Structure 1
Amino acid sequence: MVTAAAHRAWEVAAAVPDPELPMLTLADLGVLADVREEAGAVTAWITPTYSGCPAVAEMAADVDARLRAAGYPRVEVRLRLDPPWSSDLISAEGRRKLAEAGIAPPQPGAAAGLLRLGPTRHAVSCPQCGSPDTEELSRFGSTACKALWRCRACREPFDRIKEI
């Protein structure tokens, strides 16, 4: 049974922005795995997009700070690696926010529980003009979870979140 206090703690933690994709909250990105409240103590679990994510410490500190500011004096933020994060955890709202920010979101269900190490096998639409005539320039983008793409129609480069 989820108590009102636990629901409130979830809402506070869910509103924390991702440090690398600030247009998304940790809940939008699917990084916030769970939040529990018991007798005034809150435990939050975060699952990073990959195990070596350099933003984990900042995410944990931000969740801790927001929960304490909301009146929870005892907060613990834990790392959860199992089950691992998947791009399928990005919410529909998160995918919409990514596209609005000019970042091509991964297709829902594309990861399907399998790690695909090769190139993307489906059309990637340009987040600027919507054209499916795009090309991958580099599997490595501004962060480890992104790849660099370019639209052949409008010639604009853009980041794309990888399916994991």
Structure 2
Amino acid sequence: MAYSYEPHHFEDFEEGQTFESVGRTVTESDFVMHSAFTGDWTELHTNADYAADSQFGERVAHGPMTFSLATGFVYRCGFLERTVMAFLGMNYMDIPAPVYDGDTISLDMEVTGTKPFSSREDAGLVVLDTEMTNQDDVVVFEGDMKFMIKRRDYSP
């Protein structure tokens, strides 16, 4: 199983192509850094006593943190290195289960669409369906990510 990929230009992506990230263990530092960066100190994420009485029984990662971890996995794989021009959004995003401190997560990706832009010649659209799971194969994030990717042979 390959975990590091060569940079891909728009022409290198094909529907059905798959990628797999390495694993990463979520830590206390991740919780604190996300809270500090965003200003989101919601007690479900930052107060162990409060969270112990919640439906989860302990602190859980912020939903936006889970999304941020997923985008980090995409970039860490290397296939967008110096070829991604923009993240264009998502048509859907689900967080069906929480991420806990100590969970080890990884991301599977599949190219579900490629499309040249009619408005520009230097890039095309690539859509990745993503699924992030924890160490128990529980899905903790899924969604499609849309990227603007450079074309290989474009010269203005």
| TM score, norm. by length of structure 2 | 0.27
Higher fraction of strand = 2
